[in-house]
Amino acid sequence: MAAGFKLLVSVNIAFLTVCGNLVSGQRSFSIDYKNNCFLRDEKPFRYISGSIHYSRIPQYYWQDRLVKMYMAGLNAIQVYVPWNFHETVQGVYNFTSDRDLDRFLDLANKTGLLVILRPGPYICAEWEMGGLPAWLLQKPNIILRSADTDYLQAVSNWFGVLLPKIKPWLYINGGNVITVQVENEYGSYFACDYDYLRHLRALFRSFLGDAVVLFTTDGNTDKELACGTLEGLYATVDFGTNDNVTEAFRRQRRFEPRGPLVNSEFYTGWLDHWGDRHAGVDALKVSRVLGEMLTAGANVNMYMFEGGTNFGYWNGADHDTRFRSVVTSYDYDAPLSEAGDPTEKLLAIRDVIKQFQDIPLGPMPPATPKFAYGFVKLTKVGDISSLLNTFSPLGPVESPYPLMFEEMKQYYGFMLYRTTLPRDLSQPTPLISPLNGIHDRAYVSVNGVFRGLLERDTVLVMNITGQQGDTVDVLIENMGRVNFGSKINDYKGLLSNLILGADVLTGWRIYSLDIDGVIAAGWPHSEGAESFPTPQDQLTRGPAFYTGTLQPNGIAWDTFLKLEDWVKGQVWINGMNLGRYWPARGPQQTLYVPGPLLSATMPNIITVLELEGAPAHLRALFMGQPQLNATAGKS
Ligand SMILES: *[C@@H]1O[C@H](CO)[C@@H](O)[C@H](O)[C@H]1NC(C)=O
Ligand SMILES: *[C@@H]1O[C@H](CO)[C@@H](O)[C@H](O)[C@H]1NC(C)=O
Ligand SMILES: *[C@@H]1O[C@H](CO)[C@@H](O)[C@H](O)[C@H]1NC(C)=O
Ligand SMILES: *[C@@H]1O[C@H](CO)[C@@H](O)[C@H](O)[C@H]1NC(C)=O
Ligand SMILES: *[C@@H]1O[C@H](CO)[C@@H](O)[C@H](O)[C@H]1NC(C)=O
């Protein structure tokens, strides 16, 4: 520690001698290789930064979160740009509302925060497909994150739109973006393709110019640093509280013998997967290791500082030994909670920062108010199989063999595959996915009666019975594409044939389902019905829609939705997709509902797609606090 402190002092002395004879009104941001630091306007500069993802926070809360980060003592934020969030359809770009990157950068600038920008194109981030658009998979043999021609062409087109928007935000051009990251942890990827990195470097340079500091970030091993770094891109590392600070920075030094020490991702917490234990990192450990790094004179970005939420279908997944999908909450056990509330961890971090730089005067803004609205009764609208005219107005695509989501040009959510039983099955007969081709869950019914499910990597066989000609419906759920490692070409749907006894099932009618579009347009209440008759039979089994209204009470505050005793599904409020719920697996039990989504004066419409079985009580509960840590339970 003492040695590190001396380093910091010597930097400051160097700054006096270097800067004494400088006259400069020019804005600049660069690397001082002589004194091992960044230079901002020719003065030594060190950032203490935190990660925040605008794509995980509704825009009406951006400013609130940014002000809290500023008040915590940060002088910078680190931000990913998820390509698939902006170019959901190839060639169609969306930078409005919750995707308004300019507005986010402007709010940060007005708050007094500098920006470390991470435009990818790949970002990982536990985000669907690591930020890559799923339409890239229409080229069946595409090698993502490599010099593959089709991939590079798509990247060039995207950067031709994105980077010109970034250019005016560069610090040197009057904005707040001080550094820009190229790719992300590229050294962890099998391809290790320097042509790809060279191509990216050229693209960044051609759009952003030669002056901006470009950098890479890699895991803290020699192999990762070897494949992830390139001349002209400043090499930084990432590591958490379990790593030895001295040794971690020594590894950065092997690749950057001079220049600032940078930990680009210092992990304040960790993510959760469905079915796993709730993750957390101790606040004392975080503040102690942060102190060690700052004492060593290092620049630190805390990943995450504000985690937010994987709304809709935006969660990613891992695939190491098996497919594991990331939960809806991205709370991350971060210093600001999912709902943007300051935690003990934030206060501990602020106390450390205070020892190294001035922090803003004044109190930390308080938590936003929360409200426990209580129970809402839902009623059944109908089974998904009986609503295909509503969700798939163009009707099915017919194909002898199953088509994948990507072939159907539907990239997220749910699709329904329908065929008929080829013969009588009086005895339970195995329905098998022999090649583990269900990505990711299949809900199977025969003549509208739910028979069970198949699940990628875990449940590859179930039994069914029935008679020749009976309708077989297989609803497939895409649980989010793999965001890390060699398996990111994560096609969805039925990837291979289903086998029933000795027969290959053929003659499919495949329904694309625009559930989100239909619900955003007001369904089911736009049908005119105020309440829906609940058929007494088949009330509780299989994929079906339920709806109800949260009556206005003059309050529109943040709240947390608990679907206790429900099994698994998706939920919308006032047309917005809040994400997946799966209390039966856990650990997450409640979904974050941002207050501004609710109306204080009009009925709030809740729509639930329950996939396996609703409880008899058909109630949803709005609580005043989250539950993210319930031990994985029933199934
Ligand atoms: C663009 O994104 C916003 C925010 O998610 C959304 O409300 C809007 O409908 C999108 N626009 C188009 C044309 O898809
Ligand atoms: C960023 O903020 C600074 C200081 O408030 C201001 O001078 C500058 O014009 C802003 N930059 C942009 C691009 O808005
Ligand atoms: C970290 O490693 C250094 C050098 O290997 C060693 O001297 C130091 O004791 C270690 N620190 C901790 C906290 O283990
Ligand atoms: C989650 O709850 C369990 C059981 O109460 C507890 O042991 C564990 O520390 C909690 N985990 C976190 C991250 O809070
Ligand atoms: C399917 O049925 C057979 C015969 O009744 C039974 O032995 C087998 O355990 C069942 N398999 C499953 C996955 O339910």
* Local mean pLDDT, 10-residue blocks, the chain (635 residues): 33 36 73 98 98 98 98 98 98 98 98 98 98 97 98 98 98 98 98 98 98 97 95 98 97 98 98 97 98 98 98 97 97 98 98 97 93 97 96 97 98 98 97 96 97 97 98 98 97 98 97 98 79 56 96 96 97 98 97 98 98 96 97 48
Instruction: For residue 265, indicate whether it is catalytic.
Output: yes
Q: How many angstroms separate the alpha carbon of residue 245 from the centre of ligand 3?
A: 8
Q: How many angstroms separate the alpha carbon of residue 81 from the centre of ligand 2?
A: 21
Tokens 């970005």 belong to which residue?
301
Catalytic hit among 126, 128, 185, 477: 185
Nearest-atom index, ligand 1, CA of 94: 1
Helix (H) or strand (E) holding 379: strand 379-383
Ligand showing the shortest atom-to-Cα distance for residue 586: 4
Cα 103 to Cα 142: distance, rounded to the nearest angstrom: 34
Nearest-atom index, ligand 5, CA of 461: 13
Cα 573 to Cα 202: distance, rounded to the nearest angstrom: 44
Q: Where are the alpha helices (DSSP H) in 308-466?
A: 344-354, 388-391, 405-408
Is ligand 2 within 6 A of the CB of residue 175? Answer: yes
C-alpha radius of gyration, the chain, whole number? 26
List Cα–Cα distances, 142 to 101, 136, 561, in angstroms: 29, 8, 40
Ligand showing the shortest atom-to-Cα distance for residue 87: 1
- CA proximity to 410, closest of 397, 428, 429: 397
pLDDT of res. 526 = 78
Instruction: Answer whether 409's CB lies under 8 Å from 472's CB.
Output: no
Q: Which residues of 549-575 are buried (b: 16+ CB within 10 A; e: fewer)?
A: bbeeeeebbbbbbbbeebbbbbbbbbb
Q: Where are the beta strands (DSSP E) in 519-568?
A: 544-550, 559-562
Catalytic hit among 126, 183, 265, 477: 265
Ligand showing the shortest atom-to-Cα distance for residue 459: 5
Residue nearest to atom 12 of ligand 3 (CA): 244
Residue nearest to atom 10 of ligand 2 (CA): 175
Q: How many angstroms separate the alpha carbon of residue 393 from the centre of ligand 1?
A: 22
Residue nearest to atom 13 of ligand 3 (CA): 244
The DSSP code for 33 is T
Tokens 């004179």 belong to which residue?
297
Residue nearest to atom 6 of ligand 4 (CA): 629
Which residues does a 6 A CB cutoff place in the pocket of ligand 4? 278, 280, 629
Cα 627 to Cα 614: distance, rounded to the nearest angstrom: 20
Ligand showing the shortest atom-to-Cα distance for residue 343: 4
Cα 29 to Cα 42: distance, rounded to the nearest angstrom: 7
Q: How many angstroms separate the alpha carbon of residue 343 from the centre of ligand 5?
A: 51
Sheet holding 569-573, edge to edge: 379-383, 544-550, 604-610, 569-573, 576-581
Give residues with Cβ within 8 angstroms of 322, minimum separation 6. 456, 457, 458
- The pTM (predicted TM-score) of the whole model is 0.94
Which residues does a 6 A CB cutoff place in the pocket of ligand 5? 428, 461-463
Q: How many angstroms separate the alpha carbon of residue 402 from the centre of ligand 5?
A: 25
Residue nearest to atom 14 of ligand 3 (CA): 244
Q: Where are the alpha helices (DSSP H) in 112-148?
A: none
Nearest-atom index, ligand 1, CA of 97: 4
List Cα–Cα distances, 79 to 76, 230, 265, 567, in angstroms: 10, 22, 12, 34
Cα 64 to Cα 59: distance, rounded to the nearest angstrom: 10
Instruction: For residue 185, indicate whether it is catalytic.
Output: yes
Instruction: Answer whether 404's CB lies under 8 Å from 416's CB.
Output: no
Q: Which amino acid is at 455?
A: E
Is ligand 2 within 6 A of the CB of residue 109? Answer: yes
Nearest-atom index, ligand 2, CA of 168: 13
Q: How many angstroms separate the alpha carbon of residue 66 from the centre of ligand 4?
A: 29
Q: How many angstroms separate the alpha carbon of residue 3 from the centre of ligand 3?
A: 13
Is ligand 3 within 6 A of the CB of residue 246? Answer: yes
Q: How many angstroms separate the alpha carbon of residue 244 from the centre of ligand 3?
A: 6
Ligand showing the shortest atom-to-Cα distance for residue 241: 3
